[in-house]
């Protein structure tokens, strides 16, 4: 179970670090992708286009540090739920757009499959945030036992 937990954390970290870096390379293109969703006022699109990729980089890196992994997983789950909701509202409103998920160089249309994938990844992040890794010498109360 520990190996699975670690693999999910590293996978989510790699995904968020890679996508955050790609979006930072071309913030103008990412801003256009955000604007196409028609959920933010125009005045906030530029700010979101710069802060969202930075947040993705920070939470991706934090997933790699055990001390911060649990909190980072909660933030990752929240971001993925927001991404899924943004995609779902665009599908329900009949807005056909590129998701902007992977930066300007990669086009990927919003679809119900993408909504489902984001929800699945969010659930993995929730599971990761709820899984506490304890040392083999920890007792049920969570405190370490003295070695004899």
Q: Residues 93-103: pLDDT tens digits? A: 999 998 888 87
65 assigned to some structural domain: yes
**Tell me, what's the pLDDT at 138?**
40
Residue 68: inside a domain, yes or no? yes
Residue 137 domain-assigned (yes or no): no
Query: Left (φ > 0), alpha (ψ -120 to 50) or beta: where does 131 sit?
Result: beta
Tell whether 82 is covered by a domain: yes
pTM: 0.85
Q: How many residues does the chain have?
A: 148
What pLDDT is stored for residue 132 in this prediction?
Answer: 63
Q: What does the pLDDT look like over 32-55, one tens digit per residue?
A: 999 999 999 999 999 999 999 999
How many domains are contained in the chain?
1
Residue 40 belongs to a domain? yes
Q: 101 forms bridges with which residues in the sheet?
A: none
Residue 133: predicted pLDDT:
53
CA distance 8 to 128: 7
Which residues of the chain register pLDDT less than 70? Answer: 104, 132-148
**Contact status, residue 37 vs residue 97, Cβ threshold 8 Å:** yes
**CA pair distance 134, 137, nearest whole angstrom:** 8
139 located within any domain:
no
**Structural domain contains residue 121:** yes
**Domain range holding 37?**
2-130
144 lies in some domain:
no
């Amino acid at each position: 179970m520990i190996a699975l937990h670690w693999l999910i954390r590293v996978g989510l970290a790699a995904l968020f670090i890679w996508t955050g870096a790609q979006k930072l390379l071309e913030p103008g293109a990412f801003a256009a992708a955000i604007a196409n969703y028609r959920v933010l006022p125009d005045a906030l699109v530029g700010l979101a286009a710069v802060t969202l990729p930075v947040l993705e980089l920070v939470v991706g890196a934090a997933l790699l540090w055990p001390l911060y992994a649990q909190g980072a997983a909660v933030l990752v789950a929240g971001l993925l739920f927001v991404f899924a909701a943004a995609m779902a509202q665009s599908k329900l409103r009949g807005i056909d757009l590129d998701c902007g998920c992977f930066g300007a160089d990669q086009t990927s249309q919003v679809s119900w499959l993408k909504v489902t994938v984001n929800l699945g990844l969010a659930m993995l992040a929730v599971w990761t945030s709820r899984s506490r890794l304890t040392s083999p010498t920890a007792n049920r109360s969570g405190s370490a036992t003295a070695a004899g």
